[in-house]
């Protein structure tokens, strides 16, 4: 099968990071989590990390230009050209979705599938409170979920209009959700001629 270019979508706490680990092992693509990139920058004390920390702790979104630049740089590297990519946490706004389409087009790739992990708000809130990451305060969780509804949920229609969207039920054990996602990817990705 050709290299997979995939986006994983869903509310904060829906299990994108959890499932991405299993999916990259199954499909051999590179996991690109923009949240992980930003947390690594915070830990390294870079200028990006200093700018991003306050935004992340408040539950806000880092600017589109910064995020689009990070993704452009990473997608241009040889490992992704060879193995494909699983994007987790990007795109989150319509500007980022347009940028992703343009970047992939420049690189001669196109998206194969966008999987939306569907989990109700009360369930994701409980999962994040239990996880206890530094931005998992009740205030920041609420802000992130509001921004998700405002800015990211509308992207589901954007992917659907391109025939790329597959929604799976994200309530169940991680193994059950993984099986649903693998089936959805196999159903939706273009089949080789």
Residues annotated catalytic, as ranges: 16, 92, 131, 133, 144
In 10 A of CB 173, how many CB atoms?
Answer: 8
Binding to Mg ion by residue 31, rule CB under 5 A?
Answer: no
Binding to ligand AP5 by residue 38, rule CB under 6 A?
Answer: yes
- Contacts of 169 by beta carbon, 8 Å cutoff, 6+ apart: 118, 177, 180
Binding track, positions 102-141, relative to ligand AP5; x by CB under 6 A: -------------------------xx--x----------
Part in contact with ligand AP5 (CB under 6 A); list of ranges 59-67, 78-86, 157-165, 184-192? 59-67
Alpha carbon distance 119, 112 (integer Å): 23
Out of 6, 7, 10, 24, which residue is the one contacting ligand AP5 (CB under 6 A)? 10
Q: Return the residue nearest Mg ion (CB atom).
A: 17
Helices 16-27, 174-188: inter-axial angle, 10-degree rounding: 60
| The entry of Mg ion, ligand AP5, none that residue 3 binds, CB within 5 to 8 Å by partner kind | none
Part in contact with Mg ion (CB under 5 A); list of ranges 9-17, 70-78, 100-108, 140-148? 9-17
Binding to Mg ion by residue 17, rule CB under 5 A?
Answer: yes
Binding site for ligand AP5 (CB under 6 A): 10, 12-18, 34-35, 38, 55-56, 59-62, 67, 89-90, 92, 96, 127-128, 131, 144, 172-174, 177
């Amino acid at each position: 099968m050709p290299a997979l270019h995939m986006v994983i979508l869903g509310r904060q706490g829906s299990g994108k990071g959890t499932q991405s680990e299993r999916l990259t092992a199954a499909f051999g693509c590179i996991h690109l989590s923009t949240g992980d990139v930003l947390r690594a920058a915070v830990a390294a004390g870079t200028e990006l990390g200093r700018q991003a920390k306050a935004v992340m702790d408040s539950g806000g979104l880092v600017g589109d230009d910064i995020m689009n630049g990070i993704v452009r740089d990473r997608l241009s590297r040889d490992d992704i050209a060879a193995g494909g990519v699983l994007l987790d946490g990007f795109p989150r706004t319509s500007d980022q979705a347009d940028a992703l389409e343009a970047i992939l087009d420049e690189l001669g790739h196109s998206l194969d599938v966008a999987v939306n992990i569907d989990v109700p708000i009360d369930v994701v809130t409980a999962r994040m409170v239990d996880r206890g990451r530094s931005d998992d305060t009740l205030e920041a969780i609420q802000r992130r979920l509001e921004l998700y509804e405002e800015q990211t949920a509308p992207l589901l229609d954007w992917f659907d209009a391109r025939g790329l969207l597959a929604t799976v039920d994200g309530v169940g054990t991680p193994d059950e959700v993984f099986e649903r996602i693998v089936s959805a990817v196999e159903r939706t990705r273009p089949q080789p001629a």
